[in-house]
Chain A
Amino acid sequence: MLEVVKLECVRGDRRLISGLSFSLRQGELMHLHGHNGSGKTTLMRTICGLIQQSGGEILWNGESSRKLGEEFTRELTYIGHKNGIKDDLNGIENLQLSCRLAGMPIVRKTAWEVLERMGLRGHEDLPVRVLSQGQKRRVTLARLLLSKAPLWILDEPFTALDMAAVEFLQSIISLHVEQGGMVILTTHQEVRLTRGQVRQLRLGWKEEGDV
């Protein structure tokens, strides 16, 4: 279980988030709302540990995620704005490498299969640099198919994807949640996933006309 207690985040001299508390249990999906610049990405990166919070605590199963260190990052898969893949490597190499860094190496054959499921048949062994934005995103998201981490933090995962890929990604996320996983997600797109029974968290919500 992930608990956020009275979290405070300051970027530069702006206080983006203050006094934020929530908890996320197994099998729950949380959809973060907020206008541009309201601190969605900051919040996600803070939970991951990429940004140091200026106050409050992030607890994983009751223990501080900062103290847990690698024990916590092992339980976490983060996909941010940047794809985190190397342009000069091909899809297979990228996928194998990120799995190896996550501590669960996969063989080439598995990587081929997963990329094929992601709809990249025929492009698996091309350098990622020659792929389109959407295809690069698919290579990045292929990690989710292999991830055994219970907590997924996905920052705008649907950008650059076509309809079929959005649909497929939604089914992966739903399956993960059904199996007892936790997901925190932002998206500006209207997707089926965010209309169902999901937790909603609104950041920096201002009155109408105040934006």
Chain B
Amino acid sequence: MFDAFLAVMVRDLVLAMRRKTDVFSTLFFFVIVVSLFPLGIGPEMNTLRLIAPGVVWVAALLASMLALERLFAADYDDGTLEQMLLAPQPLFILVLGKVAAHWLATGLPLVLMAPLLGLQYDLSADALRILLYSLLLGTPALSLIGAIGAALTIGLRGGGVLVSLLVLPLCIPILIFGAGAVEANVSGLGEQGHIFMLGALLVLSLLLAPLATAAALRVSAE
């Protein structure tokens, strides 16, 4: 069972490495969106500090939506999804392997880049650390929840927009607590509560999202 998880994860990472455009387009989208705000708003430090958590988190949310569309669609098109559905392995384990690879390829680079981008907003070292933690907890949950939407829309034309419409409302709690953690830290309220909530959301989506995704795949692959 664990072997199947590893097999799928390693496969998807190898594929991501051989087709780097997907990985880099997500990362560059994130970098550019976050960098545009200071340019547009002007060098007013107080305003920038205020909007920083929200901007970084919204950009992270949109960037992770960008890569979701192809998560299952590519496997559906070449028939490997069929073979996964028929593999004598629990489907949610295979789903978990795919989501893990997806996060490692598109989510993790974004998390690591965030503190660097945060510097443009004059965030303190402490706030940057909290930004990193909150993204580290939040982006895997975004990938997990997004996978449900991606599974529901395989084989549909214009699936990309539909995924965002389906998934973005579900991501609102993660956005609120993620950006909230950094804001709480900046304002001196203490970020612990928010971080714990993010952790809880991650655990919850880790438990439920793969099952929901597996069920969605069985329906939409018919």
| A-to-B contact residues, CB < 8 Å | 48-52, 70-71, 73-74, 76, 78, 80-89, 93, 97-98, 100-103, 105, 127
Contact = CB atoms under 8 A, between A and B. Distances in A.
A93 B8 CA distance: 12
B4 A85 contact: no
Interface of B: 3-4, 7-8, 11, 14-15, 18-19, 77-80, 82-90, 94, 221-222
Nearest to B10: A97
Contact of B11 (A50, A52, A80, A89): A89
Given A89-B14, A89-B15, A100 B82 contact: no
Contact of B80 (A50, A85, A100): A85
B82 A50 contact: yes
A154 to B, nearest CB: 13
A83 B7 contact: no
B88 A103 contact: yes
B93 to A, nearest CB: 11
Contacts of A87: 78
A78 B82 contact: yes
A80 B82 contact: yes
A127 B147 CA distance: 28
27 contacts: A48-B86, A49-B85, A50-B221, A51-B222, A52-B222, A73-B88, A74-B88, A78-B82, A78-B86, A80-B82, A81-B79, A82-B77, A82-B78, A83-B79, A85-B80, A88-B19, A89-B14, A93-B11, A93-B14, A97-B7, A100-B4, A101-B7, A101-B8, A102-B87, A102-B88, A103-B4, A103-B88
B83 A84 contact: yes
Chain B interface, DSSP helix/strand/loop, else mixed: helix
Given A51-B222, A97-B7, A101-B7, A86 B87 contact: no
Given A88-B15, A89-B11, A101-B7, A80 B88 contact: no
B78 A86 contact: yes
Nearest to B19: A88
Nearest to A52: B222
A101 B222 contact: no
A27 B4 CA distance: 31
Contact of B86 (A73, A85, A93, A127): A73
Contacts of B80: 84-86
B78 A84 contact: yes
A70 B82 contact: no
A81 to B, nearest CB: 8
A50 B222 contact: yes
Contact of B90 (A70, A76, A81, A89): A70
A24 B82 CA distance: 23
A103 B14 contact: no
A6 to B, nearest CB: 21
B15 A86 contact: yes
Residue of B14, B77, B94 with most chain A CB atoms under a 10 A cut-off: B14
A85 B88 CA distance: 18
B110 to A, nearest CB: 23
B180 to A, nearest CB: 40
A100 B3 contact: yes
A127 to B, nearest CB: 8
B11 to A, nearest CB: 6
A136 to B, nearest CB: 10
A97 B88 contact: no
Top-3 shortest CB links A-B: A82-B79, A74-B88, A84-B79
A84 B86 CA distance: 11
